[in-house]
Structure 1
Amino acid sequence: MHLSPLRTAIALVAALSATLAATSTGAPASAAPGPVRLLGESIVPHALSYRGTTVGGLSGIDRDPCTGEYALISDDRSYQQPARFYTARIDVDGGGVHGVRFTGTHALRQPDGSTYPPPTLNDGRAIDPEDIRVDPRTCGYWWSQEGNRPKAPGAPDPVIQPSIQVAGRQGAYLGSLPLPRDYRITADEGPRRNLALEAITFGQGGSLLTSAVEGPLLQDGPESTTEHGSLTRVTQHSRSGAVLAQYAYPLEPLFAESDPDSPWSPDTGVPALLAYPHDPGRYLVMERTYVPGAGYRIRIFDATTRGAGRVQHLKSLASTAVRPMRKRLLVDLDDLPLPRTDNVEGMTWGPRLSTGERTLVLVSDDNFSAEEATQVIALALR
């Protein structure tokens, strides 16, 4: 979850029934040229009530190959209701996004079957859910949580280690994946606060799981500025958690200077990545940037590990020259005819169109704020 200051409110549709849980738009006639075009979007009503839960904070999405539905994870840290995920029918075709209908919700469970508590001082049981993927082999769920680095030593929020967990179809705990040592939060190394583990994706029919740290590790150098980018890490894991390879991924510089009067800080990172089904070294990588006073910018890159140097043996990317992954810009959402671009964090492949195009379905995290929106956006890739 990435909180932002209040912005000018955009009037959202009042809460509808769960069977009509979104307003929809088709693509405008003047779709942007290039390899990606906008099909349309739906807006899920703010604070929609569904089966005793508040729909919001949707930070990850995946299309379920077993049902054709979509799984969406909320990054509610059990503050409003127990940490949970949803299932939904999302009608996407060449004419747009024709609705989002929620079909189920389940709490994520601890090994003892209980739900996760909200964060409390020195309580390492708390979680911060971020991404979800449907296992193409078992149809179970794999989900990531980025953990927590306290604001400062002695601050009243606990250290929570990042994790990738496996859950059953009803949310039952089935296991946890061992993670690389450099994903671990320590006093002076590991992921930064709110820039830890988010993105996960399956490749090679489920035999390969790839994860990404959202921003640079403390030991890997400074965060991006308007003057320079930064490096984060992308790791390929076996299903048992063995590190098969790790690569440096180059993040873009900030697109604007931050408002000096804002209490918020800018940040940029990787909230989602998506493996190409038949090319284990190729990914779609989403870069999400927030700059106070300038808003959000969401860009999707086509990236490859081919030619990149492996870095799992390097303690620091700042002290050694590395060959990072190569990438090219696929689409900047600012270049599409969307009414607004919000805090988009989730990405999955959607259905193939009759034109032969692949679709991408994106979702934004509204941070449970009426000033933001839950957007479900569909794109077509030529």
Structure 2
Amino acid sequence: MSDNEGFTVTHLDSMQVTDGLTPFGVPLGGISGIDYDDATGRYWAISDDRAEKGPARFYTLELTLGPDGRFATDAPVVTGMTPIADQGGEPYPKKGVDPESIRRVHDSTDIVYTSEGDASKLIAPLVRRATAQGEFVRDYALSSQYLPAADASGVQVTGVRNNLALEGLTFSPDGSKIVAVTENSLVQDGQIPSPTNGTDSRVIMFDSAGGDVVDEYIYAVEPISGTYPDMVSPTGFTLKADRGVTEILAVDNNEYLVIERGAVPGKGSEVQIYWASTEGATTVIGKEKLDGTETPMRKKLLFDFSDTGANPDNVEGITWGPTLSDGTRTLVLSADDNFNPEGGQHTMFHVLAVK
């Protein structure tokens, strides 16, 4: 798959989940990360509910595919819901966590997940390992440049931006590295996207066994695709055009699939999948602030939902799915409804073919 030669991605099917489902007595929604377990045929999916509509939690799901790769049912089967606990073993308090991505640990029943934290309150993001029962195991320490800090007047001057923090997570295929990515640039590194400029997301790599940071790179996000006026949603939120990375998925030890999602007021979401490689990119490990001389990861557009006519909605999760009988690999994507059906957002799943 080097340089994505002969690597093509096509859309097979989409599933829009009925709004208002409450498996285990809690609203189903906010699905921001998904991971497939080939051994059981089940998926692990994490909700970005900030412990407000229910406990901070992840789910196990069944999303059966037919021989043609299309969904065999019109809804996922939710087989389990697991609350996740903080370092002290207690349920997260309301707004005490913002889960965004989930991956199963290789050769273990444990999981690793990210939280964006809350930069507006100087709450740090995290990469955290937990048991299959949601119990705290360990944290992977972030370098100081990721931690939100403010000056004497209370203005944030460094660290991840509010709600634009650790959005994506993946393991290297051999399980030796954990790779996390920010949605947008750190405060000290540059701007958020606009129609005239993109943003430099940071990609941070940990040794999965020891926990040390072993490398960092820059992934350059595209500019916003056009100029769009702000809109007020039916639920009273001001909708602004934006763009950022929502997930990363390893292809091999140097190559990744990266989702870029743009919010377009009045139109919904734009979603593209890029192939990206660290080969030839500048390592920025430990660099407190970018200076503009860095070479970002190489990237190339692989797939754009706008070419399919399908509605992607707010795609935030991607995982390798089952291999079809003809040898075709699949990708399964999840879309976060933000618990906002009145605003036209819904929980969705998509399946793509990779050849």
Which TM-score applies when normalising by structure 2? 0.90
Q: Distance in 2 between matches of 1:186 and 1:353?
A: 48
Alignment of 1:271 onto 2:246: yes
- Identify which of 126, 132, 142 aligns with 1:163: 126
Q: How many residues align?
A: 332
Alignment of 1:250 onto 2:244: no
Q: Distance in 2 between matches of 1:288 and 1:337?
A: 16
Q: Which moved more, 1:129-138 or 1:38-47?
A: 38-47
Is the 8 Å Cα contact of residues 86 and 102 (structure 1) preserved in structure 2?
yes
Shift of the 243–95 alpha-carbon distance from structure 1 to 2, 3 Å rule, reads closer
Q: Distance in 2 between matches of 1:274 and 1:214?
A: 14
Matched residue, 2:302: 330
Cα displacement (A) at 1:52: 1.4
Residues 220-251 of structure 1, C-alpha deviation per residue, up to 9 Å, x if partnerless?
11112111222111111101321111111110
Q: Distance in 2 between matches of 1:173 and 1:313?
A: 27
SS in 2 for 1:350: strand
Alignment of 1:140 onto 2:110: yes
Shift of the 304–77 alpha-carbon distance from structure 1 to 2, 3 Å rule, reads same
Paired AA for residue 135 in structure 1: V
Q: Distance in 2 between matches of 1:95 and 1:324?
A: 35
Q: Which moved more, 1:349-358 or 1:262-271?
A: 262-271
5+ long unaligned stretches in structure 1: 1-33, 120-125, 151-157
SS in 2 for 1:280: coil
Q: Distance in 1 between matches of 2:137 and 2:231?
A: 47
Q: Distance in 2 between matches of 1:57 and 1:260?
A: 23
Shift of the 189–260 alpha-carbon distance from structure 1 to 2, 3 Å rule, reads same
Is the 8 Å Cα contact of residues 64 and 139 (structure 1) preserved in structure 2?
no
Cα displacement (A) at 1:146: 0.6
Shift of the 103–184 alpha-carbon distance from structure 1 to 2, 3 Å rule, reads same
SS in 2 for 1:359: strand
Is the 8 Å Cα contact of residues 143 and 165 (structure 1) preserved in structure 2?
yes
Cα displacement (A) at 1:92: 2.0
Shift of the 335–111 alpha-carbon distance from structure 1 to 2, 3 Å rule, reads same
Which TM-score applies when normalising by structure 1? 0.84
Matched residue, 1:118: 94
Shift of the 174–201 alpha-carbon distance from structure 1 to 2, 3 Å rule, reads same
Matched residue, 1:192: 161
Matched residue, 1:259: 229
Paired AA for residue 37 in structure 1: T
Residues 128-184 of structure 1, C-alpha deviation per residue, up to 9 Å, x if partnerless?
01100011221211110011121xxxxxxx332100111111111111111122221
Residues 110-143 of structure 1, C-alpha deviation per residue, up to 9 Å, x if partnerless?
2333211102xxxxxx100110001122121111
Matched residue, 1:359: 330
| Counterparts of residues 278-357 of structure 1 (less than 5 Å) | 279-317=252-290, 319-338=291-310, 340-357=311-328
Residues 267-292 of structure 1, C-alpha deviation per residue, up to 9 Å, x if partnerless?
2111100001xx20100000111132
5+ long unaligned stretches in structure 2: 1-6, 151-156, 233-237
Q: Distance in 2 between matches of 1:76 and 1:101?
A: 20
Paired AA for residue 304 in structure 1: S
Q: Distance in 1 between matches of 2:130 and 2:201?
A: 27
- Identify which of 101, 107, 121 aligns with 2:83: 107
Q: Which moved more, 1:279-288 or 1:221-230?
A: 221-230
Q: Which moved more, 1:67-76 or 1:235-244?
A: 235-244
Cα displacement (A) at 1:260: 4.5
Paired AA for residue 297 in structure 2: M
- Identify which of 46, 54, 71 aligns with 2:19: 46
- Identify which of 123, 132, 141 aligns with 1:178: 141
Q: Distance in 2 between matches of 1:42 and 1:217?
A: 35
Paired AA for residue 345 in structure 2: E
SS in 2 for 1:224: coil
Cα displacement (A) at 1:313: 3.6
SS in 2 for 1:219: coil
- Identify which of 197, 202, 206 aligns with 1:228: 197
Cα displacement (A) at 1:264: 3.0
Q: Distance in 1 between matches of 2:167 and 2:69?
A: 31
SS in 2 for 1:182: helix
Shift of the 287–378 alpha-carbon distance from structure 1 to 2, 3 Å rule, reads same
Q: Distance in 2 between matches of 1:342 and 1:237?
A: 31
Alignment RMSD? 1.5
SS in 2 for 1:210: strand
Q: Distance in 1 between matches of 2:127 and 2:345?
A: 28
Is the 8 Å Cα contact of residues 207 and 238 (structure 1) preserved in structure 2?
yes
Q: Distance in 1 between matches of 2:89 and 2:230?
A: 47
Shift of the 260–71 alpha-carbon distance from structure 1 to 2, 3 Å rule, reads closer
